Amino acid sequence: MLANDVKITPELVAEHGLKPDEYQRILDLIGREPTLTELGIFSAMWNEHCSYKSSKVHLRGLPTKAPWVIQGPGENAGVIDIGDGLACVFKMESHNHPSYIEPYQGAATGVGGILRDVFTMGARPIACLNALSFGAPEHPKTRHLVSGVVAGIGGYGNSFGVPTVAGSVRFHKRYDGNILVNAMAVGLAETDKIFYAAASGVGMPIVYLGSKTGRDGIHGASMASAEFDDNSEEKRPTVQVGDPFSEKLLLEACLEIMAKDCVIAIQDMGAAGLTSSATEMGAKGNLGVTLDLDKVPCREEGMSAYEMMLSESQERMLMVLKPDKEKEAEAIFRKWGLDFAVVGETTPSMRFIVKHHGQVMVDLPIKELGDSAPEYKRPFVSLEKPAPIDAGAIEPPGSIADALERLVATPDLCSKRWVWEQYDHIIGGNTVQRPGGDAAVVRVLDGPKGLALTTDVTPRYCEANPFEGGKQAVAECWRNLTAVGATPLAITDNLNFGNPERPEIMGQFVGCVRGIAEACKALDFPVVSGNVSLYNETNGKAILPTPSIGGVGVIADFKKSASLAFKKEGEAILVVGETTGWLGQSIYLREICAREEGAPPPVDLIEERENGEFVRSLILDGAATAAHDLSDGGLLVALAEMAMASGIGAKLDAAPDDIPGHAYWFGEDQARYIVTVPAQAVELVMARARKASVLVSRIGTTGGAAVAIDGQRALAVPDLNERSEGWLPGYMAGRD
Amino acid sequence: MKARVTVTLKSGVLDPQGKAIEGALRSLGIDGVAAVRQGKVFDIELDGGDRAKVEALLKQAADKLLANTVIENYHVEVLG
Amino acid sequence: MKARVTVTLKSGVLDPQGKAIEGALRSLGIDGVAAVRQGKVFDIELDGGDRAKVEALLKQAADKLLANTVIENYHVEVLG
Amino acid sequence: MKAAVLVFPGINRERDMARTLRLTSGREPAMVWHTEHDLPAGTDLVVVPGGFSYGDYLRCGAIAARSPVMDAVRKFAAGGGLVLGVCNGFQILCESGLLPGVLMRNENLRFICRDVFLKVERSDTPFTRGYNAGQVVRVPVAHGEGNYIADGETIARLEGDGRVIFRYCGPDGMIDPDWNHNGALNAIAGIVNDGGNVLGMMPHPENHVEADIGSTDGRGLFAGLAEALKKAA
Ligand SMILES: Nc1ncnc2c1ncn2[C@@H]1O[C@H](COP(=O)(O)OP(=O)(O)O)[C@@H](O)[C@H]1O
Ligand SMILES: [Mg+2]
């Protein structure tokens, strides 16, 4: 019998983040008033975070298939075939709001959650990445948030034992009240040993594994989708605390019982904990599930059914085990010191039933719980796109050298060493290319294969033109993988936007998603997993649209991968791709002229592909000695980065006459790379470029101890390094 | 003037440290331990002798730095 | 039965954490802080009610595990 | 070389260590679970690897130091057996009393992962025979608590007896506070016990044994050990 102890009032419904029409949908679905626990379950399952109700219709437009895709979106993580019987399992996820409220624990549990998504599928995590967006440096909270988030990401990953090999950090005032913490995890598995969430078989034991359940993060999933206001600091107790030690044990125990063939289905308890994991296992397997909450290992006394069903305590898993292997699995979990309890079973009824103290607290149709979640075609408008800016109309700097000196020490372009030195980026003994380059390269097992990994997006482009910005984010990700010599295979996306109930925000979302889809199609670069984070607003002010793209590529021999550091003096410096001097939305315009204006650089996807394939072929056959893609800051910033990474300078020809100097050096035209080749190979490379119809021009020669443009003041490489390395540590130490 | 600020986890907040120590004590054969929660103490020496002022100062220090009030409580004790 | 074990660094042992907190307090504008030393507290719940026995047990726990007696002192307090 | 690598819950560099031992000695080490009371027969090298045993939750290495297997290691060391502790392994050896001193939080209170330079102080130990005295090697560190501290008397004894084996230094071998990333006393990166058969060090030589992954500067330690043990056998 259902214990309907609490009267469901409109206030209670609203407190659960459910709109009146959504509540009506519940009533229509179950034909009676829900119990409080049921209401909690609906609120967790139907919030934006779990149901994707505003985004679903648009996400359907993303390409998700390719011959190498084993599992696209819909499982805990995406899976691609990387050859030799191996699969790469990866996903990115946001922990934005929790990280704003409690930066250390918020970021740490974000890492813990995404690692769990990956090893739930049977993969051993081999790398982590992160994409971080903070408010303006001068905002009073920024320093504290940077410090806590970075320590939290390191604190979890370092202890868990996975190298954090790449990421991105940006600062912009539009993130002042709503930072973004996007964490990505990458794992390896054998292609025929991937584990999924769908249960099968009636009467199978459902087993609870890992840490005990406490009152952590109740309403956490709802919080992650609720717009912030000035009272948000009051919501603090819903923050979860991460326990990387337990998660490491959980990883080892899970991989051990998977290897012993004990597991039918597995699902981690992430957002909406026990509720979403249990219903997903049942619904995906076309089975009902009955849970007995008296069996759930609890950390605190007197927890109600409501609390247990909505708890977001970390480091927990739900599994359906093969009945004859239950004892064996239990012994493995006990050995690792983890809780193990049979808490329920699969049933033929297609109902989700939860009992507590002998009473039925929940009795709901299991499929409809997820499938009938509301789905919105929210109205959207596209704002008028800014017109391109004529580079000639933008004031030149005092001198090109002055501008470069300033640019390398700006928050977005400076070295992020202060960040990534707090991450163990070498554990595993497979990190071929460490943070600081275009993409990290991680050896696969004992080689020779390597994986290239990166995260990218340029939010200011997305704001100015969502479609072009979406395209550009994918193209830049593809370009970064290409610049180390890898063949890009697939992406995960983490779509961070404001309130979708506002048509102009929805317009940003739709535009970016369409742009992403277009680029993914053109580059054969499907989306295999992802995450949507909406309502990133404070007091009605939205963040910059920030669709973070996490990319994975493969290189047959990791030893052939290229890095951006100049290798030798006297080598020719070549630019691949066309330079027109596009200054609209550039970093130059923002940092030197204090203007955020104009159209962002358009991406020609055909050119992108041709130029990339050309660069990759130069790298793989050993012709290119160094390679770097061009992005924020354009040509001269990229050259400075190559010089700083090596200590070798560059002698550069003056800008061509037909482009203003500052537009030539700092413009952000897309689809471009710099490569170096031995001087005697230039002819040959040029001939190859002509044959491939790729535009290549020689712009200078490596050598000396300075970056020196003909006719301009030379900048000593050590000075550039000092500026680039100095800003972040100085800022964090409070010297600003 | 000497003072002690004690910072403890709010009840209900997971304490992975305490949990691990609990287990270690048991496996060392120390019986009867039902639960362990770990906290911090800060022993602080201060110049100046106004008790009330020092107490106010330390509350401020605890709020701003010594405790993470999202998950921790603190207690200030001026020892004189 | 409840007890608290407090573990503090022996005087003379360098305390980088305390030193850093000292600096941080100063830069927060909290004046008059002469020195900070950081320690730990363990709040322990025990089964069984013999005070003397519990105290002996906790001394053993501190000696064996909770404190590194090379650098740390401890203090056991049974709260009943 | 018959190496035994200890495995505690929360340890996470045991695979890196096992691979390096295999690469440098040609032999697969035995992985020994913390609840074991005995080391595998014929063990001639015990390695306590890096990681976060028990989450490093009480003090780094404290809980692991009290595991059953550590009694066996103490016995093994007392009989002159070679013991190598790296990072968390060093912390565990200090906590278990096999080495003096403690490892405190890094001076800047942050975790630090980077390549550092080490000066090899002596080459006449089984651990460093693969190097020359005074040689500078580049190996990575990855720790939050590697700041070595001991009382004055202990430090005097360590220095007097030449038991400081590795020191943080600049690329040119100069000992300089700027190159002492964690603030360790006397820039101490690694020490041996008074018998010279137990070495603890914070850096990770096991992560620098391949030319294409970092460098090969860590190889000397393992190659030297393998040779010392071959000679002894
Ligand atoms: N949060 C971070 N974690 C790890 N590595 C980071 C992080 N932020 C930046 N990096 C590293 O710094 C380098 C520069 O970052 P970025 O400017 O975003 O590169 P790109 O423009 O080539 O994508 C990259 O190697 C990146 O991996
Ligand atoms: Mg790049």
pLDDT tens digits for A183-212? 999 999 999 999 999 999 999 999 999 999
Query: Which chains share 3+ C-beta pairs under 8 angstroms with C?
Result: B, D
- Please state, in angstroms and rounded to a whole number, the distance separating the CA atoms of residues C2 and D158: 43
Give the contacts of A226 (CB within 8 A, at least 6 positions apart): A17, A97, A535
Q: Cβ(B76)–Cβ(B5) under 8 Å? A: yes
Categorize the per-residue pLDDT at A1 as very low, low, confident or very high, splitting at 50, 70 and 90. Answer: very low
The residue contributing the CA closest to ligand 1 atom 13 is A436
Categorize the per-residue pLDDT at C48 as very low, low, confident or very high, splitting at 50, 70 and 90. Answer: confident
In angstroms, what is the span from residue C72 Cα to ligand 1's centroid? 42
What is the structure's pLDDT at A233?
A: 41
Range with the poorest average pLDDT among A564-568, B76-80, C38-42, D222-226: B76-80
pLDDT higher than 70, residue A610: yes
Across the beta sheet with A715-716, what order do the strands follow?
A: A626-629, A673-677, A572-576, A696-702, A650-652, A706-709, A715-716
pLDDT digits (tens, 9 = 90+) for D139-190: 999 999 999 999 999 999 999 999 999 999 999 999 999 999 999 999 999 9
Mean pLDDT of A330-340: 92
Any idea what DSSP says for residue B63?
Answer: I
pLDDT digits (tens, 9 = 90+) for A661-690: 999 999 999 999 999 999 999 999 999 999
Categorize the per-residue pLDDT at A239 as very low, low, confident or very high, splitting at 50, 70 and 90. Answer: confident
pLDDT higher than 50, residue C60: yes
Amino acid at A262: C
In angstroms, what is the span from residue A104 Cα to ligand 2's centroid? 28
- Please state, in angstroms and rounded to a whole number, the distance separating the CA atoms of residues A177 and D14: 42
Range with the poorest average pLDDT among A160-164, B20-24, D179-183: B20-24
Residue C40 lies in domain: 2-78
Pocket of ligand 1 (CB under 6 A): A 130, 132, 164, 166-169, 416, 419-420, 435-438, 454, 456, 480, 631-632
| Residue bearing the bigger pLDDT, A629 or A232 | A629
pLDDT higher than 60, residue A236: no
Per-residue tokens: B2? 């000497």
Q: Contacts of residue B35 in chain C, CB cutoff 8 Å?
A: 44-45
Amino acid at A89: V
Categorize the per-residue pLDDT at A220 as very low, low, confident or very high, splitting at 50, 70 and 90. Answer: very low
pLDDT higher than 60, residue A458: yes
| Residue bearing the bigger pLDDT, A233 or A462 | A462
Give the contacts of A240 (CB within 8 A, at least 6 positions apart): A98, A105, A109, A216, A217, A220, A312, A313, A314, B14
Locus of tokens 């392994």:
D89
Categorize the per-residue pLDDT at A238 as very low, low, confident or very high, splitting at 50, 70 and 90. Answer: low
- Please state, in angstroms and rounded to a whole number, the distance separating the CA atoms of residues A669 and A588: 13
What is the structure's pLDDT at A728?
A: 98
pLDDT higher than 70, residue A224: no
**Region for A551 from its dihedrals, namely left if φ exceeds 0, alpha if ψ lies in -120 to 50, beta otherwise:** beta
Confirm or reject contact between D66 and chain B (CB < 8 A). yes
What is the structure's pLDDT at A237?
A: 54
pLDDT higher than 90, residue A216: no
Angle in degrees, CA D203, D206, D212, rounded to 5: 110
- Please state, in angstroms and rounded to a whole number, the distance separating the CA atoms of residues A520 and A472: 11
B-D Cβ pairs (cutoff 8 Å, strict)? 20
pLDDT higher than 70, residue B58: yes
For residue B63, give the CATH number of its domain: 3.30.1280.10
Segments in A142-294 forming alpha helices (H): 142-160, 220-223, 244-259, 273-284
Q: Cβ(A636)–Cβ(A666) under 8 Å? A: yes
Average pLDDT, chain A: 94
Which one of B16, B20, B38 has the shortest CB-CB distance to D63?
Answer: B20
Average pLDDT, chain C: 90
Mean pLDDT of B24-40: 92
Categorize the per-residue pLDDT at C23 as very low, low, confident or very high, splitting at 50, 70 and 90. Answer: confident
pLDDT higher than 60, residue A232: no
- Which one of B14, B15, B19, B21 makes the best mutation probe of the D interface by having the most chain D beta carbons within 10 Å? B21
Any idea what DSSP says for residue A120?
Answer: T
Question: In terms of C-beta density within 10 A (0-12 exposed, 13-18 middle, 19 or more buried), how is residue C12 classed?
Answer: exposed
Residue A144 DSSP SS3: helix
- CB C32 to CB B48 under 8 A? yes
pLDDT higher than 80, residue A495: yes
Residue A555 DSSP SS3: strand
Q: Cβ(A164)–Cβ(A249) under 8 Å? A: no
What is the structure's pLDDT at A552?
A: 98
Mean pLDDT of D24-40: 96
pLDDT higher than 90, residue A271: no
ipTM value for the complex: 0.93
Q: Helix, strand, coil shares of chain C as percentages rounded to 5? A: 35, 35, 30
What is the structure's pLDDT at C30?
A: 79
In this prediction the pTM is 0.94
Categorize the per-residue pLDDT at C15 as very low, low, confident or very high, splitting at 50, 70 and 90. Answer: confident
What is the structure's pLDDT at C24?
A: 84
How many CB atoms are located within 10 Å of the residue A607 CB?
18
| Host H or E run for residue D25 | helix D14-25
Q: Taking Cα atoms as reference points, which of A517, A426, A546 lies closest to residue A175?
A: A546
pLDDT higher than 70, residue A736: no
Per-residue tokens: A263? 């597991």
The residue contributing the CA closest to ligand 1 atom 2 is A167
The catalytic residue among D34, D143, D181, D204 is D204
Q: How many domains does chain B have?
A: 1
What is the structure's pLDDT at A73?
A: 96
Q: Contacts of residue B24 in chain D, CB cutoff 8 Å?
A: 54, 58, 63, 66
D87 has catalytic annotation: yes
Residue D118 DSSP SS3: strand
Q: Which domains does chain D have, with CATH numbers?
A: 3-232 (3.40.50.880)
pLDDT digits (tens, 9 = 90+) for D150-164: 999 999 999 999 999
What is the structure's pLDDT at A357?
A: 93
Q: Which of A168, A587, A668 to mutate to test the pocket of ligand 1 (most atoms within 8 A of CB)?
A: A168
Categorize the per-residue pLDDT at A226 as very low, low, confident or very high, splitting at 50, 70 and 90. Answer: low
Categorize the per-residue pLDDT at A38 as very low, low, confident or very high, splitting at 50, 70 and 90. Answer: very high
- Using a pLDDT cut of 70, give the percent of chain A over it: 96
- Give residues 11 to 70 of C whose Cβ lies within 8 Å of D: 12-17, 20, 64-66, 68, 70
Mean pLDDT of A587-594: 96
- Which one of B11, B14, B26 makes the best mutation probe of the A interface by having the most chain A beta carbons within 10 Å? B14
Range with the poorest average pLDDT among A491-505, B35-49, D127-141: B35-49
Q: How far is CA A222 from CA A41, A75, A98, A241, in A?
A: 11, 21, 11, 17
Q: Cβ(A539)–Cβ(A83) under 8 Å? A: no
Instruction: State the helix-helix crossing angle for A466-483 and A503-523, rounded to 10 degrees.
Output: 40
What is the structure's pLDDT at D141?
A: 98
